[in-house]
A and B are shown apart, each in its own frame.
Chain A
Amino acid sequence: MRSLHWFTQVLEVAAALAAAPLFHGWVNQCRAWLQNRSAPPLLQTYRGIRKLFYKDAVIAERASPLFRIAPYVVFATMLTAAAIIPSMGTRLPFSSSADAIALVGLFATARVFLALAAMDIGTAFGTLGARREMMVGFLAEPALLMVVFVASLISMTTSLPAISERLATQALTLSPSLAFTAVAFTMVLLAENGRIPIDNPATHLELTMIHEAMMLEYSARHLALMELAAALKLFNYACIGFALFIPWGTAMGGGGPGALLAAVPILGAKLAVAGAALAVIETVSAKLRVFRAPEFLATAFLFAVLGLLVH
């Protein structure tokens, strides 16, 4: 049984690494279809990343070592996060070493390193991007924490797999507070992954961009790692959403290899639906002005707090 748990653990991380660009590509494809464009192939994200890895890295003259180490740190935090989140099975040996609060902390670490790296060169874009990223982050992070907190209150544990397991096995509790937190979580997901009401992943227009502004000085393998990390982040957020709000179908405590085998296509189906839904949200909503972003996020935060209240 233990070996199965370890296998689940390794499988989850490997799957996250492999499937994250695929999920990214899927969202892009859906978006293109909805917007009447011809869609890029599903594997486009892999191709982009692979191309970047083969290129020569160009680094600004006054870049410090912090700038070079940041992509690795950001990537590593996202990969570690993938090891905590129960996407296929809930019995993850590693997850006892970091609970949901630590997971939020992990995302914060990635954000801080990203922002610091962006400030390192000292260009207008970098600092602008860093400031905006932190502005989005300082409201999105507590909102996410509150979402997790509400789920913890309902299940009386802060360990993410345990939360997921309890929510799935309780006799179908339609907790009203989960409705609020689900809305809050969706808003946080959009903001944290640079999606449309807050940031547009497709634009390079300086007035509006956040994530891309921070990436501007990166090239080649560093950029590849950053893009991979961004894809992983989206994947991780989607999996957190599944774990909290639609936990059914993952391999629970008692389940043997069969349950794990069944969990793989279920996860695939969830991802496909979530990606399509994300594309729909992005297509039907308009991008907000940067100064409307705190309003959006404050709303998310307050919704999460409201979930706490309704509990």
Chain B
Amino acid sequence: MTPVPFVMQLLNALAAMLLLLSFAMLAQRRVVTLVDLFALQGAVLCAATLLLAWRTGETNLYISAALTLALKVIVLPRLLHRLIRRLGVYWDTDPLLNIPGTMLVGLMIVVFAFGLAQPISALASTATRSAVGIAVAVILLAFLTMITRRKAMSQVVGFLSMENGLFFGAMSATYGMPMVVELGVALDVLVAMLVLGVFFFQIREQFDSLDLEELEARKEER
């Protein structure tokens, strides 16, 4: 066994933290905690980016890290918290599948993601063994979070967490996307958040609830 450099080990550990937080989000019922976990995930992502930037010496990555910190750790969580307070949705109702069941499905997803990523991480010279797999897993788990929740609020958090996974995957496999793309994505996320915020108020005004079942009931009669 060749000794893995310490920085890489640290990166691995941070990747594991990301996955851990994804699972924590999956197991969480409280929307407030969900947002906090999302902020924490952003922080871990920021740390991982900084670490990689320091190791490779790419200035682009420093900017990405700063962007992550500003957007995902500070701005978005604050926005979300404010939304939660204004809308009064502190709890998600019972998820569609019970929590252990969801976690079990999540486990299978992780196995799938790791298996999928094995050839990719063999190709990618930069990434550590599990980083790509973890990135894929985070994306898929975020999907699962979105699927199993009933409240629009938690789905948005899931959506944002998916973006975290994408970002981490890109970063660990190719040392980050081109700066333009990254800036564009960041802007997109921010705008999407604002639009969704407005959208929430509209939904609530229409249906007196943020429960998506209300929306689902509005479909064409067959």
Contacts and interface: CB of A to CB of B under 8 A. Distances in A.
Asked if A and B form a direct contact in the complex, defined as CB atoms under 8 angstroms apart, the reply is yes
Interface in B110-130: 110-111, 114, 130
A305 B107 contact: yes
Contacts of A302: 23, 100, 103-104, 106-107
Contacts of B20: 179-180, 183, 303, 306
B17 A306 contact: no
Interface in B89-105: 98-100, 103-104
A169 to B, nearest CB: 13
Interface stretch (B3-11, B70-78, B159-167): B3-11
A242 to B, nearest CB: 19
A234 B115 CA distance: 39
Contacts of A305: 107
B13 A174 contact: yes
A309 B104 CA distance: 13
Contacts of B16: 176-177, 179-180, 310
A183 B22 CA distance: 14
Interface in B134-168: 134
A299 interface: yes
A172 B6 contact: yes
A298 interface: yes
Contact-residue bracket for chain A: 20 to 34
A309 B19 CA distance: 12
Contacts of A171: 3
Interface in A178-206: 179-180, 183
Interface residues of B, number: 25
Contact of B103 (A180, A298, A310): A298
Contacts of B10: 174
Given A179-B16, A179-B17, A310-B16, A173 B9 contact: yes
A176 B134 CA distance: 11
Given A176-B130, A294-B100, A302-B103, A309 B13 contact: no
Nearest to B104: A302
26 contacts: A172-B9, A173-B9, A175-B13, A176-B12, A176-B13, A176-B16, A176-B19, A177-B16, A179-B17, A180-B20, A183-B20, A295-B98, A298-B99, A299-B27, A299-B99, A302-B107, A303-B20, A305-B107, A306-B20, A306-B23, A309-B107, A309-B110, A309-B111, A309-B114, A310-B16, A310-B130
Interface of B: 3, 6, 9-10, 12-13, 15-17, 19-20, 23, 27, 98-100, 103-104, 106-107, 110-111, 114, 130, 134
Given A179-B13, A298-B103, 9 more contacts: A177-B16, A183-B20, A298-B99, A299-B27, A302-B107, A305-B107, A306-B19, A306-B23, A309-B110
